[in-house]
């Protein structure tokens, strides 16, 4: 499992093992088990698998009821369906009573493998991080998915776990270590500019940061898997030692990860924050590589964008 680059495979295998070892863990499926890999739970422990059909609102309501009785439900669907269709149930039945429900948004973000733009979840971070009791986590690779799930399972309260469908993500340094909710990871140390990324973008940004060294450019890079609560200590320490931040996310830049970083720094240590992500427009239908290129989020485009910002800063 630690060798797979597939977040969904790592998720399904790990949840199946967790359910097998804990009689209180139950998986709720929105008729997408083959895609999300909740089918692994059904295969390993049929009694821990509940098929809820294409009825996300009902699925969240059932999960809330199970949590109220002391069970540990993990409800999973595509991120677009989980967060948009069932938002009222998430607010009223999960977040307001602060129930121990784990909500998993599979196929989150832009890269949904030819399913089309109706399946893109480009506003889920904004929706979920707004809720007072919700914890929001976006792992950077498959290894971190497993470590994050271990931490989430030990955490009593609602969590939104954002998983990418992309199966090409290389492992980030340090993601095999114990995961701590609310903590980021400083991967590279540089000067003037700190680049902060979350979820599937972290792997691409890390490649770009490494390639920029060939141009004599050494930048700070931090991977931030917990979007809420943010690692205030790490972020503000970087704000005090850098003049510019660049944030990168597979989400609308309005009210997303970068917006939260900008809000935090504006209140405690203001600095220039350039947000890279999906602009104020919907995406298109297409293959992952084409969609990344369309939104200037491929590794090569990130490299050129970050390099351009660096050169501008150098001439200030």
Give the chain's largest Cα–Cα span.
Answer: 63
Shared domain check, 93 and 40: yes
Measured CA to CA, the distance from residue 109 to residue 313 in angstroms comes to 30
Q: 90 in a domain, yes or no?
A: yes
Final residue of a structural domain among 129, 162, 195? 162
Structure tokens given for 172: 């980030």
Shared domain check, 214 and 85: no
Q: 239 in a domain, yes or no?
A: yes
Cis peptide before 225 (omega within 30 of 0): no
In sequence order, what are the beta bridge partners of 248? 197, 276
Q: 179 in a domain, yes or no?
A: no
Asked if residue 29 lies in contact with residue 50, where contact means CB atoms within 8 angstroms, the answer is yes
Shared domain check, 241 and 207: yes
pLDDT by 10s per residue, the chain, length 316: 356 689 999 999 999 999 999 999 999 999 999 999 999 999 999 999 999 999 999 999 999 999 999 999 999 999 999 999 999 999 999 999 999 999 999 999 898 877 778 788 999 999 999 999 999 999 999 999 999 999 999 999 999 999 999 988 999 999 999 999 999 999 999 999 999 999 999 999 999 999 999 999 999 999 999 999 999 999 999 999 999 999 999 999 999 999 999 999 999 999 999 999 999 888 888 888 999 999 999 999 999 999 999 999 988 7
- DSSP code, position 123: S
Shared domain check, 83 and 48: yes
Shared domain check, 207 and 153: no
CATH number, residue 210: 3.40.50.920
Per-residue pLDDT, 3: 65
Shared domain check, 157 and 27: yes
Shared domain check, 294 and 150: no
Whole domain around residue 284: which residue ranges? 185-314
Shared domain check, 148 and 52: yes
Per-residue pLDDT, 1: 39
| Cα torsion angle, 287, 291, 294, 298, sign | negative
Measured CA to CA, the distance from residue 9 to residue 16 in angstroms comes to 11
CB hemisphere CA count around 264 (13 angstroms)? 22
Measured CA to CA, the distance from residue 246 to residue 273 in angstroms comes to 6
Structure tokens given for 265: 């720094």
Per-residue pLDDT, 259: 98
Per-residue pLDDT, 142: 95
In sequence order, what are the beta bridge partners of 50? 28
Helix H or strand E encompassing 274: strand 272-278
DSSP-based three-state secondary structure for 215:
helix
Shared domain check, 195 and 102: no
Final residue of a structural domain among 130, 162, 194? 162
Shared domain check, 104 and 48: yes
In sequence order, what are the beta bridge partners of 265? none
Chain-centroid distance of CA 312 in Å reads 30
Q: 2 in a domain, yes or no?
A: no
What does R_g of the chain's alpha carbons equal in angstroms?
A: 19
Asked if residue 18 lies in contact with residue 149, where contact means CB atoms within 8 angstroms, the answer is yes
Q: How many C-beta atoms surround the C-beta of residue 34 within 10 A?
A: 10
Q: 169 in a domain, yes or no?
A: no
Shared domain check, 63 and 125: yes
Number of folded domains that form the chain: 2
Measured CA to CA, the distance from residue 195 to residue 206 in angstroms comes to 9
Q: 15 in a domain, yes or no?
A: yes
Shared domain check, 272 and 197: yes
Measured CA to CA, the distance from residue 276 to residue 84 in angstroms comes to 23
Q: 168 in a domain, yes or no?
A: no
Final residue of a structural domain among 162, 197, 220? 162
Q: 170 in a domain, yes or no?
A: no
């Amino acid at each position: 499992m630690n060798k797979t680059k597939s977040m969904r495979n790592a998720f399904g295998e790990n949840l199946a093992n967790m359910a097998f070892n804990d009689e209180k863990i139950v998986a709720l499926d929105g008729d997408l088990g083959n895609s999300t890999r909740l089918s692994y739970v059904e295969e390993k422990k049929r009694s821990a698998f509940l098929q809820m059909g294409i009825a996300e609102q009902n699925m969240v309501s059932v999960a809330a009821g199970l949590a109220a009785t002391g069970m540990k439900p993990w409800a999973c669907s595509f991120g677009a369906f989980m967060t948009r269709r069932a938002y009222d149930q998430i607010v009223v039945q999960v977040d307001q009573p602060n129930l121990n429900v784990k909500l998993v948004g599979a196929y989150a973000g832009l890269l949904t493998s030819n399913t089309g733009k109706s399946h893109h979840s480009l506003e889920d971070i904004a929706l979920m991080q707004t809720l007072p009791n919700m914890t929001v986590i976006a792992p950077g690779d498959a290894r971190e998915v497993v470590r994050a799930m271990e931490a989430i399972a030990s955490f009593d309260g609602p969590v939104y776990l954002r998983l990418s469908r992309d199966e090409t993500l290389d492992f980030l340094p340090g993601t095999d270590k114990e995961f701590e909710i609310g903590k980021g990871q400083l991967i590279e140390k540089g000067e003037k500019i700190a680049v902060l990324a979350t979820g599937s973008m972290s792997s691409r940004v890390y490649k770009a940061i490494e390639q920029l060294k060939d141009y004599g450019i050494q930048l700070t890079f931090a991977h931030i898997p917990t979007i809420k609560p943010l690692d205030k200590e790490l972020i503000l320490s970087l704000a005090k030692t850098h003049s510019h931040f660049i944030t990168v996310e597979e989400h609308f830049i309005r009210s997303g990860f970068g917006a939260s970083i900008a809000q935090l720094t504006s209140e405690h240590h203001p600095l220039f924050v350039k947000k890279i992500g999906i602009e104020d427009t919907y995406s298109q239908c297409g293959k992952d590589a084409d969609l990344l290129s369309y939104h200037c989020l491929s590794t090569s485009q990130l490299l050129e964008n970050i390099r351009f910002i660096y050169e501008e800063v150098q001439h200030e």
